[in-house]
Amino acid sequence: MKRWAVVWLMSAACGWSAAAQTGTAAKTNPGGPPRVLLLVHQQFLPGKAGARQQLQQQTARSFDLLDVPATWIELESLTGPPEAMFFDPANSFEDIEKAGTALAQLYGAHMDLAQSQQQIMELVASSRTVTAVRRDDLGYRADGIDLSKARYLVMREVRVAAGQRQQFEEAVKAAEAGASEMKWVVYEVNAGMPEGSYLMFAALTEMKDLDKDFGRSGQGSAGLWLQFPGETNFYAIRPDMSHVSKEFAAGDPGFWVRKTGP
């Protein structure tokens, strides 16, 4: 099934959770962490990564030219299994459903794009889709995060045992008192991972920030993450395979904006 078909179908099953947790306030910072997050992890057939990247670059360029409202940021893993991770932001699950509708219409009107998407999917060895809702009570200085200026993302998957959610959330809130420079945002997973899963993200502008926050000493603000059971991985942002809004790209046009001519 096409990635965006999955997005569209999942929104119907998860919409109640967004209404319960996100509220109706409009997002004012285009580069800020989205209220609702859809992640698609994809691994590719051996020897097909280069062909997939070329197709994805062509797709992103076409979406820019057509100004398609559905957006995504593509990340490539620097640690863990080789994979691409599509970071699809939204303000609500209703927005995800609207994006799915727009994409269905787009593929119906542009068969070349539908064929390119099918070619990409034929190169996929495995795919996993996750949806999550932002927890403003658990993040630290999350309002200061600007994804449009990020070059790398750090993601920690935390899985909390049954009956220990309150203990975990209280520990995260208490940890904020000792945090320093690093900012993070926390999402609670509502589909695609075991119950009790959380995703913690930090955005970095340079690799050297890893020395400061994730150095061998285990000290610094990142040490707060490591006290909770989970897995941490680093990802590089690929603007050439992403499609973001004009408002988002305006945060760092030199990094995001591509030439639209031949």
Domain 134-235 of CATH type 1.20.1250.20: no
Domain 3-132 of CATH type 3.40.50.620: no
* Local confidence band at 8 (pLDDT 50, 70, 90 cut-offs): very low
Question: Cα–Cα distances in Å, from 120 out to 107, 132, 175, 177, 242?
Answer: 14, 25, 42, 46, 15
Domain pair 3-132 / 134-235, same fold: yes
Say whether pLDDT at 236 is over 80. yes
Domain boundaries, the chain: 3-132, 134-235
Beta carbons within 10 angstroms of residue 240's beta carbon: 12
pTM, entire model: 0.84
Range in 70-79, 164-173, 211-220, 239-248 the model is least confident about? 211-220
Q: What are 154's strand-pairing partners?
A: 202, 234
Say whether pLDDT at 146 is over 90. yes
* Local confidence band at 161 (pLDDT 50, 70, 90 cut-offs): confident
Secondary-structure percent of the chain, ordered helix, strand, coil, rounded to 5: 40, 25, 35
Range in 190-194, 230-234, 246-250 the model is least confident about? 230-234
Say whether pLDDT at 250 is over 60. yes
The pLDDT > 90 percentage for the chain reads 55
Say whether pLDDT at 170 is over 70. yes
Q: Which one is predicted more confidently, 14 or 158? A: 158
